[in-house]
């Protein structure tokens, strides 16, 4: 919630960005992350910030839960090294264009939920796990292209047990 923070330069030597580190920094518009500094402990790192553009460098392997949720991002291009997008990582953004990378394996629960401007997306052939409601609320999403076979199973969260279960 540092309302006046407009820019930040992350060194390539950065090893971790903590949870909620830049959450609510509404004046922060652009971020360049060049190292693999995002992990399970980086949840909500940029959520509710003013981010309009992010550059993720080669080496970033994971996009944490809620990391970029409720930002002003309109385009997203993942580097070839990203293997997993966490739960609600890009939920409630303003995404119009998303380029997912070959090498991506998992798209988390509500990862792109409620991106009302997203009209189409291509799912790389390496994606084997799309969890429940990954694109829920994307009311303008009219075209989904699977570049390989569509995953044969999807997962849903059993609300009673709290356990992820596969469905065919």
Cβ-proximal residues to 50 (8 Å cutoff; 6+ apart), any chain:
25, 26, 27, 28, 29, 71, 72
Report the pLDDT averaged over residues 72-91. 98
Tens digits of residue pLDDT in 16-65? 999 999 999 999 999 999 999 999 999 999 999 999 999 999 999 999 99
Tell me, what's the pLDDT at 108? 95
Report the pLDDT averaged over residues 130-141. 90
Report the pLDDT averaged over residues 120-129. 94
Tens digits of residue pLDDT in 106-118? 999 999 999 999 9
Q: What is the pTM of this model?
A: 0.90
Report the pLDDT averaged over residues 114-141. 93
Tell me, what's the pLDDT at 42? 97
In this prediction, residue 161 has a pLDDT band, given cuts at 50, 70 and 90, of: low
Tell me, what's the pLDDT at 148? 85
């Amino acid at each position: 919630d540092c309302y006046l923070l407009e820019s930040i330069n992350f060194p390539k030597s950065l090893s971790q960005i903590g949870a909620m580190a830049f959450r609510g920094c509404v004046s922060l518009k652009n971020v360049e992350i060049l190292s693999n500094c995002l992990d399970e402990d980086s949840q909500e790192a940029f959520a509710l910030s003013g981010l309009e553009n992010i550059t993720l460098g080669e080496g970033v392997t994971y996009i944490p839960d809620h990391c970029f949720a409720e930002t002003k991002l309109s385009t997203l291009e993942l580097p070839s090294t990203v293997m997993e997008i966490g739960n609600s990582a890009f939920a409630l953004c303003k995404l119009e264009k998303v380029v997912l990378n070959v090498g991506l394996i998992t798209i988390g629960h509500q990862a792109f939920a409620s991106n009302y401007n997203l009209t189409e997306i291509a799912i790389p052939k390496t994606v084997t796990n799309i969890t429940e409601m990954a694109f829920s609320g994307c009311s303008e999403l009219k075209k989904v292209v699977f570049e390989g076979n569509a995953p044969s199973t999807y997962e849903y969260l059993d609300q009673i047990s709290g356990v992820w279960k596969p469905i065919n």
